[in-house]
Amino acid sequence: MGLLEGLSTWQIAVVTVLSIALVQRFVANYTWHKKYKFPNQIPGVPIFGNSFQIPPIQQGTWGQAQAKKYGEMYTCKFGVNNWVFLNSSRVVNDLMEKRSAIYSSRQNLPMASGIMSGSCRILLMPYSDRWRAIRKVMHTILNTQNKQLFAPFQDLESKHLLYDYLHNPDQWYVANQRYANSVIMSVVFGKRFELNHPDTRELLETSTEILQALQPGASLVDTLPILNKLPTFLQWWRPRGLRAQEKCKKVYRREVEDLKARIEAGTARDCYALQYMKTPEAHKYGETQFLFSLGSIMEAGSDTSRIAISQVIAAAALDKRWVNTLRSHLDLVCGSKAERLPQFSDRPSLPYMSAVAKEAMRWRPMAQIGFPHMLIQDDEYEGYKFPAGTMFTWNALTIALNEEEFEDPMRFWPERFMDEDVGNVLKGHLSFGPGRRQCSGYHVGDTNVWIAVARLMYCFDFEPVEGKPIDTIHSNWLEYRHAPIAVTIKVRSPAHAALIEREGKAAVETKY
Ligand code: HEM
């Protein structure tokens, strides 16, 4: 008896079409697998691949465990995306640096980028003419030659930071948050940040929302972008995404309007937004892009500096050796009796402090498994063949803690950077990312950390709290509502307290 016997003509037609589609799929799959070759693939489940294996936060130790098992490069599947994890500086350099012309795009994220960001969030934009144009402007405004734009803000806010530590040592993590946000708010909009103001709370909420949306598996459509082809009315995630986009725009627009009012009143300070508004790019791509070009910097610049400073405090409580060395350098330059605070102009005399800032970046990289770049054309490397669309990431914590790359990698040891490159904030670690997508605000990030840490270490002692061990690997550094670790903070001497009173009070009372 024939298999199709008893079926109507249209049923036979359906079975035939389905069979052809299945065979085509099988052949395409077979050809694809014959054509391309990936490094060790971590076994996963059908359709979702490894999406349920990777933890939602603190992914570094997971990435490290896989590297131990699968070697210098391994592949994960998150939905339809193949992610290649690069586990040594050698392979990161070979691919993401040297070939960065083709390794610098971003994943197609219909929800996080398309709907929530109107395809205008710089961090998530594909490698395109628009991204290049905006990135160029960012570079012109944020580069080190333009440091007169951000140095005065960092100077003032770090004095405020000391004052907060002196008067409210138990709230040190809130002080770090205020500092980092206020510097960025000042750099971008020329305005100080008031932590408890409802407007700024809303601004922080928008950053948290996008961070959550970027976690692997946070949205089904980002895992399986084919769902984006469903008719709009069936896309149940769309209204939530659009609400998030509108909220961002409302928050950014309010700051722009406020700045415009200050420009009109003649009270506006020079800032990123003011300089950006004068460029053709500010008007070329429409309002959504204009707003996100400013908002993206606020987002990218705040938490990163806050976390780096908190991690240095943990390092200071855990190991006095580097603190004592730094102190001896600071005392030599600023006086051992609290004669004056460290300044940016001291930087040439304080290379050890620059090494501390670099070590802060290496020791506990913020993006623990990097931030993936998308390959835009087929490529071959050491016997592997990658199709366009493959995602590549530098496995940051794994590399930072690899004994073959760094001597005694668990130790916070600034001496490792005391060489002729100590002034090159990018060299010797990967915390600002590799290649053309490298952090655009690295000068601001580095100087934020430099001035805050130099002043904090000059003025305060940091000790662990008995019975509360500090776990710097597993602490949730993203957390901002309570302290990620327990430390005791004491001012070094009455003279240091008096210095902070003098300098800090004036900073706290400064309004603009
Ligand atoms: C301690 C401080 C900071 C760290 C560790 C850091 C780290 C990073 C990393 C890892 C990336 C992704 C790089 C990649 O994909 O290859 C990035 C991107 C970015 N960062 Fe930073 N960052 C810091 C501070 C800042 C600051 C202060 C600003 C702004 C003033 C900023 C602006 C940006 C922007 C706009 C991007 C997106 C670049 C693009 O996709 O083209 N960052 N940052």
Residue 142 CB less than 6 A away from ligand 1? yes
Transcribe 395-427 into DSSP letters.
-HHHHHT-TTTSSSTTS--GGGG-STTTT-TTT
pTM: 0.93
Nearest to 298 by CA among 121, 432, 105, 171: 121
**Is pLDDT at 101 greater than 70 in this prediction?**
yes
Measure 123 CA to ligand 1 centroid, in angstroms: 8
Contact by Cβ (8 Å): 280, 211: no
Atom of ligand 1 at shortest range from CA of 372: 15
Q: What percent of the chain has pLDDT over 70?
A: 99
Tell me if 324 sits within 8 A of 131, measured CB to CB.
no
3-class state of residue 44 by DSSP: coil
What is the rounded distance in angstroms from the CA atom of residue 362 to the CA atom of residue 89? 12
Place of tokens 């070590």: 359
Mean pLDDT of the chain: 93
> Which 3 state secondary structure label does DSSP give 83?
strand
C-alpha separations of 307 from 39, 41, 311, 353, 478 in Å: 33, 33, 6, 18, 7
Confidence of residue 182 (pLDDT cuts 50, 70, 90): very high
Average pLDDT over residues 56-60: 85
Cα(223)–Cα(124) distance, integer angstroms: 15
Note the pLDDT of residue 2: 64
**CB 87, CB 74: distance < 8 Å:** yes
Higher per-residue pLDDT: 344 or 203: 344
Q: How confident is the model at residue 30 (pLDDT cuts 50, 70, 90)?
A: confident
- Write down the residue that tokens 């693939």 correspond to: 41
Looking up tokens 């349920």 gives: 52
Is residue 371 pLDDT above 60, yes or no?
A: yes
ipTM, two decimals, is: 0.99
Q: How far is the CA of 306 from the centre of ligand 1 (A)?
A: 13
Q: What distance in angstroms lies between residue 58's CA and the mean position of ligand 1's atoms?
A: 18
pLDDT tops 60 at residue 443: yes
Cβ–ligand 1 distance for 304 under 6 Å, the answer yes
CB 301 less than 6 A from any atom of ligand 1: yes
**Ligand 1: which of 132, 364, 432, 446 to mutate, judged by most atoms within 8 Å of the beta carbon?**
432
**pLDDT score of 17 more than 80:** no
CB–CB of 437/285 below 8 Å? no
Q: Which residue has the higher pLDDT, 413 or 211?
A: 413
Going by the annotation, the residues of the binding site for heme are 439
For ligand 1, atom 41, which residue shows the shortest CA distance?
437
What would the pLDDT profile of 219-246 be if each residue is shown by its tens digit?
A: 899 988 999 999 999 999 999 999 999 9
What does the pLDDT look like over 450-472, one tens digit per residue? Answer: 999 999 999 999 999 999 999 99
- Could you tell me which residues are beta bridge partners of residue 391? 83, 374
Residue 451 confidence (pLDDT): 98
* DSSP, res 348: G
Confidence of residue 5 (pLDDT cuts 50, 70, 90): confident
**190 neighbors 176 (Cβ within 8 angstroms):** no
